[in-house]
Structure 1
Amino acid sequence: MTAPVRPRLNMIAGPLLGEFLLGMSVAMGGLWLASHTSDAAAGAFGLVNQILETLLVVFRVLAIGLGVVVTQYLGGQQHASARRAALLALGASTWAGALVVCIVVAGNDLVLDWLNAPDQIVVLAAPYLQWFAPALMLEAYNLSMASVLRAHLHSRDSLKVMIVMHSSHLLLAALLMRDWGEWDGMGLEGYAIAMLISRALGLVMHLWFWRIRMQLVPRWQDWWAASWKDLAPVLRVGLPGAGVEVAYRGAFMVSLAATARLGVTALATHSYTLQLLKYVLLTSMAIGWACEIMVGRLVGAGDLRVANGLVRKAVRNGLLASGSLALLAALGAPWLMRIFTKDPAVIHAAQTLLWLSLLLESGRVFNLILNGALRATGDALYPAASSVASLVLVLGVGSFWLGRLFGLPGIWMAYAIDEWIRGLLLLARWLWRGWLPNARDSRRRLRAGE
């Protein structure tokens, strides 16, 4: 019998929090640089970021599945299988990255059209999006390789990579986007070029840490090989989670189109507020990812009672953290929004949205933590199946109609209602232990060497 894994949630969550903080800060810095050009540039920056978030779902299929599969293998002491799954990340990322690059190159005008982007936004967003194509290929490798590092509990090494990668991105973006003397600056395109250079640096660092921490040195063929047999356990976990992501991003894009209909000011307000809220959800995101890693290991070790207690504690901590941060953001809105804009109409509208976000962020905690925990037990289908109706009817259709009736506050109400519906369904699943049969099945498959 494998010895139980002792959960040390904070040791994993701390570095993850640092990673997320860095990533959010780069995006915040990019938005700040864009906002000093014009509100239209800020709107274009926010719109393109949302498009990229949707496309990155393809990479998250791999990152989600690989993370869970590798943690379960390691928890069950199946190190050879964990090694094979880690190397699989490279070949699968190559093909996933190529797919996303083709979509960006061929379809950006169509996507911007579908989103009802105003003409002054399209002029800025279309070339900006094209510049991201090569950087996205490297992003696929970095996401998958970071997932493998964390699964081996090398979260501090992953944090080191992110510090260098994101710091270089922000520094280069500041140099390339703004004018310096006779240099006119590249505007939004400078942010994309800075991302390409920083992701190349991140890939080099990930390869180094793979070699010194896990003794993994990829061969040339590992960058292309991706057999369906090896991918099966990864996709079994990753595809349902990706299905939720696709449905969420699709519904969210509907809400974004509804926002774009309200004009450039509304789109800029939407971008500023969402960027600020990313800092609110950082703690819950870090707790959720750490929880998923530990639950995967505990399931592999067969210690389901400890996994249950760990998840309950994680949800409690997440509610306290997100509730407190959302309240501080709402109270500080008149000053925080001045980082981006001096327009009193934008500041007032953002303040209203941030007060509504107290409800939004407390509901989001359940989704951020319980989704990953259920997935780590092998219960990947329930979170996907239970979410579809709310995503389509509340987030998608609801934001469209509530946006027409109440403007941006109506869209925010749809966001909050959707998060609470999905979150409560996941909470019920965990508390009533509907995940237990799946956890036992996962454990049996591991012991059978599947």
Structure 2
Amino acid sequence: MKTVKQPTLFQITWPLFIEIALHMSLGIIATLILSYYSDSAAAAVGVSNQVLNIFIILFNITSVGATIIIGQYLGAKRVQDARQTARSAFSINLYIGLIISVLVALTGKQLLGFFSLEGQTLVYGETFIKIVGLFLFLEAISLTLGAILRSHGFTKNAMYVTLLMNFVSAFGNVIAVLGLFGIPVLGVAGVAWSIVIARAFAVTLLFFVVYRKLSLRFRLKDLIQINRQDIKSIMNIGIPSAGEGISYQFSQLIITGFIATIGEAALSARVYVSNITMLCFLFSLAIAQGTQLLVARQVGAQQFEQAHARGVKTLKIAVFASFVSAVAIAAFGTSIMSLFTSSPEIIAIGIPLLWASVILEPGRALNIVLMGTLKSAGDVRFPVTIGVLSMWGIAVVVSYVLGLQFGLGLLGIWIAFSADEWFRGIFALKRWNGRKWVQYSLTKGESHEQNERRKATEAV
């Protein structure tokens, strides 16, 4: 068995930064390439990805739960417990992935029907969601294996796999849309198959890396007899943790329905601006995830003051970086939007949204960092409670009022997004500084020596 690494924040974060950038660029590249093919195709794939993201968040129930539990176990020196949790997480997500893949493939058209897509846009969306949806189980496996690696400090290896996956996907996208090497133009179907092939390639590599770095094998008996206590522990952490994300995606689906009533230009602008502004919170996501891994270990080792200080320091860096990047993107907004579309109407809708993001993104950074650190400390119910109240009570309601009733369109919806992010972020800051999360540590009150005596007693 390999020695568990004790990485620094920088060692964890820079590979995470590149990995998240690569994951984001996967969607951005597909959208950019499809925009040259058809604005309708780009809009259809953007909406389809929103639907698929809901199911991907379900996979995060297991991977997030496993990440937190493994991190705290490693901090408490309970390495064998961490390895058993990893095996159980893999088995759980494999079954969930297979069930959801069949479900999405069979109901893809009905799921898209909510957005009132019509004509060729609906045809593009149905093609994409059926192909990618049928193989969603690959993403379930990938998320779990990546979480296991990152929990043990091997963020660099997960980054390399994502880099290769992106290369395969981007290369396939170009071939599908441009018809290179004598291959006919396949359009949306070709882009969908490129994503599937890239994910299959990534899963194969991740299995190899997990075995090489952790000497961890996934056995048939792990699939047949999943440890019940592991299921309970993972779900107790994972369901509330992922609940916030599930609520967010559903609220975004409702809001996308609002946008669809405004018009196809607004829908396309939303897809393009959302892809562009991903760059604003890229750094926040990376440093937040790195901090979560460290905080989980510090909480597991009962180093609560160090964990609190780490969260506050990360917060300051993330808010500053997101503000600067949002201003830079807004300043060059016309040029950036022109990369995605030549439509003056879409560009005109998008530019004010980029400037509105200067207010939105620091609030999002506040939210991302602190909600993540609370979850890694084991305080998982507070984020979902505040999240559900804010997303539906502020984001959805205010989007409808400002966007549709007051006629502000997408700008009104972006104002609602800003209010939602800042509301949740401020509550998270109060919770973090209040230190109530200390009581939720999974290993609180049990030293390593006590744990060893406990296990010896159980064995007898």
Counterpart of 2:426 in structure 1: which amino acid? Answer: L
2:458 aligned partner: none
User: Which residue of the partner structure matches residue 25 of structure 1?
Assistant: 25
Range with greater deviation from structure 2 (305-314 or 90-99): 90-99
Which residue is equivalent to 2:445?
444
The answer to whether the aligner puts 1:413 opposite 2:415 as a matched pair is: yes
Cα distance in 2 for partners of 1:443, 1:106 equals 46
Contact 1:45 1:125 in 2 (8 A): yes
SS at match of 1:280: coil
Q: CA deviation at 1:32?
A: 1.0
Indicate conservation of the 8 Å contact 2:175/2:183, yes or no.
no
**Superposition pairs of residues 140-289 of structure 1, within 5 angstroms:** 140-180=140-180, 183-223=183-223, 225-289=225-289
Q: Which moves more between the two structures, 67-76 or 389-398?
A: 389-398
After superposition, the Cα gap between the structure-2 partners of 1:89 and 1:321, relative to the gap in structure 1 and judged at 3 Å, is same
| Cα separation, 1, equivalents of 2:221 and 2:192 | 29
Q: CA–CA distance in 2 between the matches of 1:442 and 1:392?
A: 34
For 1:374, the equivalent position in structure 2 comes to 374
- For 1:409, the aligned partner's letter is L
The amino acid that maps onto 2:386 is S
For 1:444 and 1:188, how far apart are their aligned partners in 2? 55
- Going from structure 1 to structure 2, the CA distance change for 1:91 and 1:225 (only over 3 Å counts) comes to farther
- Taking only aligned residues, the RMSD between alpha carbons, in angstroms, comes to 1.7
CA distance in 1, matches of 2:23, 2:6: 29
Q: Which amino acid aligns with 1:443?
A: K
How far residue 169 of structure 1 moved from its aligned partner, in angstroms, is 1.2
1:161-197 CA distance string (max 9 Å, x none): 1111111111112112332376431111112211121
Displacement of 1:445 in angstroms is 6.3
**Unpaired segments ≥5 residues, structure 2:** 456-460
Corresponding residue for 2:431?
Answer: 429
Equivalent position of 1:38 in the other structure: 38
Could you state the TM-score of these two structures normalised by the residue count of structure 2? 0.93
Aligned residue type for 1:40: S
| CA shift digits 1:58-97 (9 cap, x unpaired) | 1111111010000011111101101101111221111110
* Deviation digits for residues 267-295 of structure 1 (CA, Å, limit 9, x no counterpart): 11000000001111100000110011000
CA distance in 1, matches of 2:225, 2:289: 28
Contact 1:91 1:225 in 2 (8 A): no
Q: Provide the C-alpha distance between the structure 1 equivalents of 2:218 and 2:274, rounded to a whole number of angstroms.
A: 39
3-state SS of 1:342 partner: coil
Q: Distance in 2 between matches of 1:349 and 1:237?
A: 41
Aligned residues: 445
Structure 2 CA distance for aligned equivalents of residues 306 and 359 of structure 1: 30
In 2: Cα distance, 1:90 partner to 1:421 partner: 35
2:37–2:177 Cα contact (<8 Å) kept: no
Deviation at 1:7, TM superposition (A): 6.8
Report the Cα offset of residue 438 of structure 1. Answer: 1.9
**Cα distance between partner residues in 1 of 2:90 and 2:225:** 8
Q: Name the residue aligned to 2:294.
A: 294
Mark the CA change 1:397 to 1:110 in structure 2 (over 3 Å): closer, same or farther.
farther
1:255-404 equivalences under 5 Å are 255-404=255-404
Q: Is the 8 A contact 2:146 2:206 kept in 1?
A: yes
- Superposition TM-score, scaled by structure 1 size: 0.95
Letter of the 1:133 partner, please give it: G
**TM-aligned CA deviation for residue 224 of structure 1:** 5.0
Per the alignment, residue 92 of structure 1 pairs with 92
1:115 and 1:257 in contact (8 A); partners too: yes
- What letter corresponds to residue 412 of structure 1 in structure 2? W
* SS of alignment partner, residue 443 of structure 1: coil
C-alpha contact (below 8 Å) 1:32/1:339 kept by paired residues? yes
Question: More deviation in 321-330 or 102-111?
Answer: 102-111
